[in-house]
Chain A
């Protein structure tokens, strides 16, 4: 076969393999975020007709909590700035908030952000963690204003 044609074929092959690479990269561009709520942006009218459950709910005035206030217990009055990082409560010295509370366990509970909300999770404490009056059995979302009780300490998220 003609050398020129052959060289064109060779270049075309290199172009084809790069087309594959770029095609893959391009298809991943749509998929750069994590989890179910993968893509943001308003769904198109067509998507909405097909999936009515995607309609944007009425905007709520809920604002992300920015501080955590200790309202009762030995540390009452203390305010902790939330910085988007998990907070560990307990008597252990390496806890984020060291509770000097005889009814708290060493590693009692953990408050962590996910999405725009904060979740509280009991870490197997002896006396349990309460949101309102109910004892936690699994990680649960907390809204500003709800009372979280750990031992004798009561905490509240503030917007």
Chain B
């Protein structure tokens, strides 16, 4: 009845503590790699973990200044995952005598600094709402960039890269943020229209055709990405994010059903007519067939990954003691398999739990958020992270066909790191807004979902 309030606590000290623990995990991972490969280079540990620590502290201090009430566990989780990723990339470097780790560290610096600047500029996530259609345009441009001749390049059959100087980037990674901003802004202002209008067919309330337009656009875009750029992972990511956001905004099951119907239609079409999708399905279903295994671009990668994880067992071979470098792309797409081999099921479950905690904090932010835009944006961004994890970890463990998506924060690759750090900063800002003490009392929060299903509860005739 009478709710007792406690003073809003900023919990920044807890964040600092967890941040130090996260850095300790990273440092000990580096140390183990060094000790096991008998190339203990203290300078590398100091450099990598030191730089990451400074970056984490920069964000931490900025949060103390600008977003005091932000969620205290998001930043430590991101830093821990990033540190583990760096350690594994360094470990693969040791085996292959490459120098991906310094490159990844450089990208981490760029990503976190860009995220810090974003935090400093945005301050309040609601300012993003002003850029509704600008972000739609930006997403389209980002998605089309790799198609421009001379700028875009095709790597591993997917045309999702652009070359600028000696650096290559995947602009599509950033498109998931701008798309989430667009969907959140569009749905939060047009939710009522979508909810109210439309005919009822049986238990389903069908949306009107013209309210369907952005949905159809999203579907066309994801199918376009699939057909033109041959990137199955991003196509799943974009469409999944959109369906979840529409469902959260309207609580209409009909949208989800229509969405799944479109997925099935698109999937069956792609699976039966497009060469690379058919091949992917084949390597997934018949992975252990010797012919498929030996074919170029066959199932060698995924099967080697499975063997590695089997070798790791429960406790793993120990960091630096396994042979994850036998798997192609061991430090990017297959990094989870590398971890499975070297820290075993116990370690990989901890990593998956870290991802789950990060995503659950994002969704918790959405629950607590007081404005519809913030709710939808936090949901969309957390779902993007979740879908990336499901698609890539599911692919590596052969639960679903393997498609190339970056494991967030871990996989070698700058664009993904940049995009995910920006996502983290936006989530932190939204959570600050959600947890901050309210100015006025007895105002209801802006409720997102007004499910029509509950109207049936009491029906007067």
Chain B residue with Cβ nearest A44: B6
Chain B residue with Cβ nearest A116: B1
User: Which residues from 243 to 297 on chain B have a C-beta closer than 8 Å to any C-beta of chain A?
Assistant: none
Known contacts A20-B21, A21-B357, A24-B357; is A37 also within 8 Å of B5 by CB? yes
A9 touches B35 (CB 8 A): yes
How far apart sit A57 and B1, CA to CA, in the bound complex (Å)?
11
A62 touches B14 (CB 8 A): no
B28 touches A43 (CB 8 A): no
Residue among A9, A56, A97 with most chain B CB within 10 A: A9
How far apart sit A10 and B25, CA to CA, in the bound complex (Å)?
12
* Residues of B close to A10: CB separation below 8 A: 32, 315-316, 318-319
* Residues of A close to B354: CB separation below 8 A: 20-21, 24
> Looking at the complex, which of B45-53, B72-80, B377-385 is the stretch in contact with chain A?
B72-80
Known contacts A40-B4, A60-B2, A112-B444; is A9 also within 8 Å of B32 by CB? yes
Chain A CB within 8 A of B391 CB: no
Known contacts A97-B458, A139-B443; is A11 also within 8 Å of B315 by CB? yes
B367 touches A34 (CB 8 A): yes
* Residues of B close to A27: CB separation below 8 A: 11, 14, 18, 72-73
* Residues of B close to A23: CB separation below 8 A: 17-18, 21
How far apart sit A85 and B24, CA to CA, in the bound complex (Å)?
48
> Looking at the complex, which of B98-106, B217-225, B448-456 is the stretch in contact with chain A?
B448-456
A86 touches B460 (CB 8 A): no
* Residues of B close to A47: CB separation below 8 A: 6-7
Chain B: interface residue count, which band?
A: 35 or more
Known contacts A24-B18, A56-B2; is A50 also within 8 Å of B315 by CB? no
* Residues of A close to B196: CB separation below 8 A: 107
A51 touches B7 (CB 8 A): yes
> What is the CB-to-nearest-CB distance from B25 to chain A, in angstroms, rounded to a whole number?
5
* Residues of A close to B29: CB separation below 8 A: 13
A42 touches B458 (CB 8 A): no
The 8 Å CB contact of B368, one of A34, A41, A117, is A34
Chain B CB within 8 A of A110 CB: yes
How far apart sit A19 and B77, CA to CA, in the bound complex (Å)?
12
The 8 Å CB contact of B21, one of A19, A42, A57, is A19
How far apart sit A94 and B80, CA to CA, in the bound complex (Å)?
50
Known contacts A35-B445, A43-B6, A115-B3; is A24 also within 8 Å of B73 by CB? yes
Residues of A within 8 A of B (CB): 1, 6-7, 9-14, 16-21, 23-25, 27-28, 31, 34-43, 47, 50-51, 54, 56-57, 59-60, 62, 64, 75, 78, 80-81, 83, 85-88, 94-98, 107, 110, 112, 114-117, 119, 121, 138-139, 141
New A-B pairs, 14, CB < 8 Å, besides A17-B25, A23-B17, A34-B368: A10-B315, A13-B29, A16-B25, A20-B18, A24-B76, A24-B354, A27-B18, A40-B4, A41-B4, A75-B460, A78-B460, A83-B458, A96-B455, A141-B442
Residues of B within 8 A of A (CB): 1-8, 11, 14, 17-18, 21-22, 24-25, 28-29, 31-32, 35-36, 72-73, 76-77, 80, 84, 196, 200, 315-316, 318-319, 343-344, 346-347, 350-351, 353-354, 357, 361, 364, 367-368, 437-438, 442-445, 447, 450, 452, 454-461
